[in-house]
Structure 1
Amino acid sequence: MSARDRRTGRRAGLSLLVLVCAALLAHRHWPVIEAGAGRLAHADRGWLLVATVATLATWACSALAQQGAVTEALPAGRLVAVQFAAASANHVLPAGLGAGAVNLRFLTRCGLPLARSATALAVKACAGTVVRGCLIGGLALACPGALRLPGLTASAWTVALWTAGAVAVAGAAALFAGPLRRALRCVLRDVRAVHEVPARAAALWGGSLAFAALHTTVVIAVGQAVGLPLSPARVALVYLAASSAAVLLPTPGGLGSLDAALALALAFAGAPGDVAASTVLGYRLLTVWLPLIPGLVALGVLIRRRVL
C-alpha cells in the first residue's frame, strides 16, 4: 500500500470516527434535546426566529474575527465552514481545545507557520476577552446590583477580592516567566502587525464584538419567547458574566458549567426557576444541540476534502 493510500485511509477512518462520535453524542444527550424542544413547544415563534437568525450569524462573525487576527487573506467560504465545524468540535473536547485544534489545522493548511497560527488564535482569544470585559463593565454600570449574589457577607466579598488579587498577581508573574514571556512577545508582535492594516483591525474587533453580541441576542430572544421577566440589558449582563465564569471550568463547550451558571444567575436576578431553565435549554438547543450533528458532519467533510 502506497503512502498516499495510507493517508487516504487515515482520513477516511477519521471521518468515520467523527460521524460515530456525532451519533453517540446524540444518543447520549437525547433526553436533553427532547426536553428542550418540549419546553419551547409553546414559545413565541417570532422571538425564536430572531434567536435562530442570530445563531446562524455567529459563525460568520467568528470567521470575521479569525480573519482579522492574521494579515494574510483566508478563503472566506472555507473559513466560515471551518468555524461551523469548530463550534461542534468544541463540544467534544474540554476548554475550547476542539475549536482551537480545528482552527489551528486550518491556518496551517492555508500556509501559515505553526507558531504564527497559534499566535493568531491567541490574538483572537485576547480580543474576545477584552470585548467581553468591556461589555460586562458597561452593562454593570447600566444595571447596578444585577450581579450581586444573595447571602454573601462583607467578609466573604473581602476574601473573594483578595483571592482574585492573588490569582491576578500569580498570572502576571507567570507571564514574565521565560517561555510565556517569549509567547507573549509573539502575540504582541502579531497584534501590532494586524493593527497596521485597518481592515484587519476592524475585522478583529468588529467580529469579536458581533460574536459576543449575537450570542447575547440569542439568550435575550429565547427569554422573550418563554416570557422571561427581566430587561434585555439585565439578561445580557447575566449571560456575559455567567459564560465568562463558566470558561474557568474545563468542560466540553461549557456543557453543564454554563448551563448551571446561567440558570442560577438568571434565578438570582429575579427570574422564576422554571422560566430560567427554559431559557437556558432554548439557548443550548439552538447553539449546541441542533447544530451539533451537522457541524460534526461538516468537520468530517472538511477533513476528507483536505481543508483540515
Structure 2
Amino acid sequence: MRRASLLASGPVRLALCLSPLLLVAGWAVTNRSMAYEGAARLAASNPWWLLAAAGFTCLTWVSAAFTRQGAVPDRLSPGLLLASQVAAGAANHALPGGLGAHAVTLRFLRTQGVAPARATASIGLYSVAKSVSKTLVLLAFLAASPAWRRLGELVPDGRPLLTALVVAAVAVAVAGVLMITVRPLRRPLADLVRTALADVRIVHSRPCRVLALWGGAAAMPLVQGGALVCVGSALGLGLPWEHVVLAYLAAGTAVGAVPSPGGLAVDAALVWTLIAFGAAPAVATATVIGYRVMSDWLPLLPGALVLSALFRAKAL
C-alpha cells in the first residue's frame, strides 16, 4: 500500500514541478511576436543592469523568508526556509492569487513541526503584513513624488471601488453566517481565529519577529521595484527610478487582487502606467517583458529544481 502511494505521488510531484515551466512555454507560444521582441531587446541590453536585476530578484526570496519567519512564533531552519521560498516562487505560477506559494509554505511549516492552526494563521498574517506594507510604501512614494498627478487618467471612477467593497462585505457576511450556522465549521474556524489572535500577540511581543515581519514585508515591493528599475535602465527606459518604482507600486496595487498565475494581470496596467509617466510604448512593453523574464521566468528552473529537491528530502 505504501509503495503504491509513493508511486502514485511521483507523477503528481513531477507535474507540480513542471507546471510553471509549461505555463510559461504556453504563453510564449501564443504570444510569439511579443516574446521575440522582448527577447531581442534583452539580448541587446546592458548586461550589468540585468545582472543587478537578477540580484534584486534573489533579494525577493530573502525578503519573503524574513516575512514568513516573522509571521510564526516558532523558530524555523533559515536555510530550509529560504529554499522553501525559492520553491514557492516557482509553484506560484501554477496557481493564481499566490495560492501556490502559500501551499508550499504551509506544507513546509507542517514538516517543521508547526501546528496546523498556527501554520494557517501565519499565512493570513503574512498576507495582511504584505498588503499593508505595500500600501504604506505606495503612500510614502505618493507623498514624496509629484508624479502621482500623471496617474489621474488611470484611476478608475468610484463604481469599481464600490463594487469591490460590496463584494468584500458580502464575503465577510457569508463567512460569518457559515461560521454561526454550520456546526462542523464553527469549531475549526473559531480555533483558527483564536490561534491567529494569540499568535499576533506573541509575534508582536518579540522585537526580532516584528522586525522580520514588517521589515521583510516593506522590503519586498522595494526590491521588486528595484528589479524593474534595473531592467528599465538596461533597455533605456528613460524614466527616473522613483517614477518607475511608483509605477510598479501603483499598477500592482490597482490590479494585484486579480487572480492570475505569475501576476500576469499586472503587466498591462504596468505598461500603461509607464507610458503615462512618459516612456515610449515599445520600450515600456519591452521593459515589462524583460522584468517578467528576470523576476519570474528565469527563476522557474532553479525554483522547480529546489522544489523537487525539497520533496525528495521530505522537507515538503
State the AA in 2 paired with 1:245.
Answer: A
Match of 1:247 among 256, 263, 273: 256
The residue number in structure 2 matching 1:298 is 306
Instruction: Tell me the CA shift for residue 206 of structure 1.
Output: 1.3
2:93 to 87, 91, 94: 91
Q: 1:130: how far off?
A: 1.0
Structure 1 residue 6 displacement after superposition: 2.9
Query: Where does residue 114 of structure 2 map in the other structure?
Result: 112
- Which residue matches 1:277? 285
Aligned residue in 2 for 1:47: 49
2:272 paired with 1:259:
no
Residue 121 (1) aligns with residue 119 (2): no
Change (3 A) 1:166 1:113: same
Q: How does 1:5-20 map to 2 (within 5 A)?
A: 5-20=3-18
Matched, 1:210 2:214: no
1:76-112 per-position Cα deviation (integer Å, ceiling 9, x unaligned): 1111111011111111111111111111111111111
Report the counterpart of residue 142 of structure 2 in structure 1.
140
Q: Offset at 1:209? A: 1.5
Larger deviation, residues 157-166 vs 185-194: 157-166
Note closer, same or farther for the CA distance 1:11–1:226 as it changes in structure 2 (3 Å cut): same
Distance 2:201 2:99 in 1: 26
Structure-to-structure mapping, 1:44-193, within 5 angstroms: 44-144=46-146, 145-146=148-149, 148-150=151-153, 157-159=157-159, 162-163=162-163, 166=166, 179=179, 182=190, 184-193=193-202
CA-to-partner distance for each residue in 1:117-138, whole Å, 9 max, x for gaps? 1110111111111111111111
Task: Report the aligned-residue RMSD.
Answer: 2.6
Structure 1 residues 173, 222: CA separation in 2 closer, same or farther (over 3 Å shift)?
same
Residue type at the aligned position of 1:188? L
Report Cα offsets for 1:248-300 as digits up to 9, x if no partner.
21111212x11111111111222110111111011100111111122122212
Q: Is the 8 Å Cα contact of residues 247 and 273 (structure 2) preserved in structure 1? A: yes
Q: Is contact 2:110–2:119 with CA below 8 Å preserved after alignment?
A: yes
Q: TM-score, normalised by structure 2?
A: 0.86
State whether residues 15 and 304 of structure 1, in contact with CA within 8 Å, keep that contact through their aligned partners in structure 2. no
**What SS is found at the alignment partner of 1:149?**
helix
In 2, the alpha carbon distance for the partners of 1:151 and 1:258 equals 13
Distance change in 2, residues 1:124/1:39 (3 Å): same
Q: After TM superposition, give the deviation of residue 143 of structure 1 in Å.
A: 2.2
User: Take 1:160 and 1:240, find their aligned partners in 2: how far apart are those partners?
Assistant: 19
Q: How many residues align?
A: 302
Q: Match for residue 182 of structure 2?
A: none
Shift of 1:13: 2.5
CA contact (8 A) 1:146 1:234 kept: no
Percent of aligned positions that are identical: 37
What is the CA-CA distance between 1:302 and the residue it aligns to?
1.3
Q: Is the 8 A contact 1:52 1:286 kept in 2?
A: yes
For residue 135 of structure 1, what is the amino acid of its counterpart? V
Q: Report the Cα distance in structure 2 between the residues aligned to 1:65 and 1:285, rounded to whole angstroms.
A: 24
Q: Which amino acid aligns with 2:76?
A: L
Looking at secondary structure, tell me which structure has more helix per residue: 2
Contact 1:106 1:307 (8 Å CA) reproduced: yes
Structure 1 counterpart of 2:208 = 199
The equivalent residue for 1:24 is: 22
Residues 146-171 of structure 1, C-alpha deviations (whole Å, 9 max, x = no match)? 4533388xxx7454565566566557
Letter in 2 for 1:216: G
